[in-house]
Structure 1
Amino acid sequence: MTSPTIIEVAGRATRVRVDGDPTAPPLVLLHGLNRSLEDWSAVVVDLASDHRVISLDVPGFGFSDRRPEPASLTSFALGVLETLDQLGETRPVHLLGNSLGGAVALQIQATASERVASLALADSAGFGAQAALMLRLISVPGLGHLMTARTTPFSAKMSERAIHADPAVATPERIEHALAIAKRPGPGAVTREIMSSLATIRGVRAEWRRELFAAIAQHPRPTLVMWGAKDRVLPPAHLDAVPRLIPHARTHTFPEVGHMPQIERPTAFVEVVRGFLADEVPTSTTPKRTTRRSTSERAGS
């Protein structure tokens, strides 16, 4: 297991963590809105048993510097690709994205499909118009600034609790980490910019979703879409749109889980992702449209 480190990417400080055999197939982990690579801490070691796992703080989030242009899915995607170049990883990568990170993964496929081997998306943005009210409010000029200008211990605790079905997951350590990120200059501005580009007070904008799925349809890749059945950020009903938007994709639901299944059910999450990568990617040109429950879930984990 390695520790996160800061590297220079296009003149910017970028925080990355690289685990596993460098000759193994590359797997890139992309976190969500105003989050960091720590969201993958519970699963990264297991995933690195048979992959070169690269997790990073997306530009402008965590402890990575932002790109100079306004935050957008395209700027995030380019920042990830620049980071891979800096790490010398030019092979097609498997992308694993959670929440906004799922939309970034889709944008990478749309931008540079030749660099993508497969996509595994957990509670991903892009599959529907509905989103939590707090996210939609951030897109409102003025109000969004007030909401993101300052993070307090109470607001960090409430945010963590909203993300997970189990409130006990909002540990003091997670809250302290969120406060440390909030002390950095700029994360509020990046959050406001990306939310303004993706959503309104009414919901997630349809324009970018249509364009994105039209683009990825030109170069389909094996895809797995997962959801927590108790997600209060992006509703589980978004999973119903998958057969229409990505007809060849597999789907999977995690019972009794919120917006981040990799945190609440790490063992089951790893089993599902590794099963997808093992059975789907190397052998199938037309991925199956099936929904499977993991062994650990059938056992009640």
Structure 2
Amino acid sequence: MNQAEQLQDQYVKVGSVNTRYWQAGDSGSTVILLHGGGGYIELWKYNILELAKHHRVYAFDMVGAGRSDKPDAAHYTFDFMAQFTRDFMKVLEIPKAILIGTSAGGGVALTLTLNFPQLVERLILVGSAGLGKELNFLLRVTTIPGLGKLFSSPSKSGVAMLCKQAVYDSKLITDEIVEEFYQMATLPGAAQATLNLGRSNFNIWGQFYHSITDKLHTIEVPTLIIWGRQDPMVPLTHAQNAVKIISHAQLEIIEECGHWSPIEHPQKFNQLVLEFLS
């Protein structure tokens, strides 16, 4: 039995959205894991049980992602998804949590921290969106209406290419990972929701980031920023700039690592998180 098979899918209604989540651990602080764009909770399968040895951990499929509902009319801005996360916490009676957000999930975690600081105990950003304009061209091109349509019907070869872009060592992207990602990407409404997420938060020129970066100096919670040295999706300079602005922040750089550090270097990632939270 692999780690993911030890965790059971649970569902809860957040507003009108049927939302899938995992929960592990029954002591310590509450930790909420926020996946990136096009992601889903299985991407945390190398982390959740290790973190749950010391904390009460939740991971959920964000509205519009994984096996959660994907409302057609929604605009998947970071503000919208931060509000959804707040509502998820309300439904499960979570008064305060440590947020760990990767990629777009980092943008959500930052926005929730800025909009509802009383709900956040600590903040961990992993290759986070929202900290600067620059963004990988493959992500930006999806915002062009004509070209975006090419991404609305994912192929296994296209999924494999995107997954390999996210890591330093492409050999880590197995057929099993590609198949899992492909199955999620081809669920009804998934591709359109992912395109909507992109178009709601960036365009061909880059990310919409000023609403976050202009307020970084107001973040007071202890913050850990984790970045892969060779992240091809979001440049390391975003992290290096943010750590100078956020009052109680520290930066940890993982060598020979791309955008998916929780998957590419799970032991190092888990160690950094647990040390920060101890």
Give the Cα separation in 1 of the matches to 2:247 and 2:134: 21
CA deviations 1:159-187 (Å, max 9, x no partner) are 11111111122111111111211222222
Q: Is the 8 A contact 2:217 2:247 kept in 1?
A: no
What letter corresponds to residue 236 of structure 2 in structure 1? P
Q: Which residue of 2 aligns with 1:128?
A: 132
Q: Which residue of 1 aligns with 2:22?
A: 17
Q: Which residue of 1 aligns with 2:201?
A: 198
Give the Cα separation in 2 of the matches to 1:64 and 1:37: 10
Deviation at 1:216, TM superposition (A): 4.9
Q: Which residue of 2 aligns with 1:286?
A: none
Q: Which residue of 2 aligns with 1:114?
A: 118
Q: Which residue of 2 aligns with 1:4?
A: 9
Q: Which residue of 2 aligns with 1:189?
A: 192
Q: Which residue of 2 aligns with 1:69?
A: 74
TM score, norm. by length of structure 2: 0.93
Q: Which residue of 2 aligns with 1:285?
A: none
Deviation at 1:74, TM superposition (A): 1.2
Q: Which residue of 2 aligns with 1:35?
A: 39
Give the Cα separation in 2 of the matches to 1:119 and 1:253: 16
Q: Which residue of 2 aligns with 1:296?
A: none
- 1:175-254 matches, within 5 Å, as 175-205=178-208, 209-254=209-254
Give the Cα separation in 2 of the matches to 1:133 and 1:118: 32
Q: Is the 8 A contact 2:106 2:126 kept in 1?
A: yes
Q: Which residue of 2 aligns with 1:155?
A: 158
Q: Is the 8 A contact 1:109 1:216 kept in 2?
A: no
**Other structure's SS at 1:142 match:** helix
**Other structure's SS at 2:58 match:** strand
**Other structure's SS at 1:240 match:** helix
What letter corresponds to residue 169 of structure 2 in structure 1? D
Q: Is the 8 A contact 1:70 1:193 kept in 2?
A: yes
Give the Cα separation in 2 of the matches to 1:213 and 1:117: 20
Flag structure 2 segments of 5+ consecutive residues without an equivalent: 1-5
Equivalences, count: 272
Deviation at 1:219, TM superposition (A): 4.6
Flag structure 1 segments of 5+ consecutive residues without an equivalent: 279-301
**Are 2:111 and 1:82 aligned?**
no
Give the Cα separation in 1 of the matches to 2:129 and 2:227: 11
Deviation at 1:96, TM superposition (A): 0.4
Q: Could you list the runs of 4 or more consecutive aligned residues of structure 1 that deviate by over 4 angstroms after TM superposition?
A: none
**Are 2:269 and 1:264 aligned?**
no
Q: Which residue of 2 aligns with 1:95?
A: 99
CA deviations 1:189-228 (Å, max 9, x no partner) are 22222222322212223xxx22223445335211011100
**Other structure's SS at 1:168 match:** helix
Deviation at 1:156, TM superposition (A): 1.1
TM score, norm. by length of structure 1: 0.86
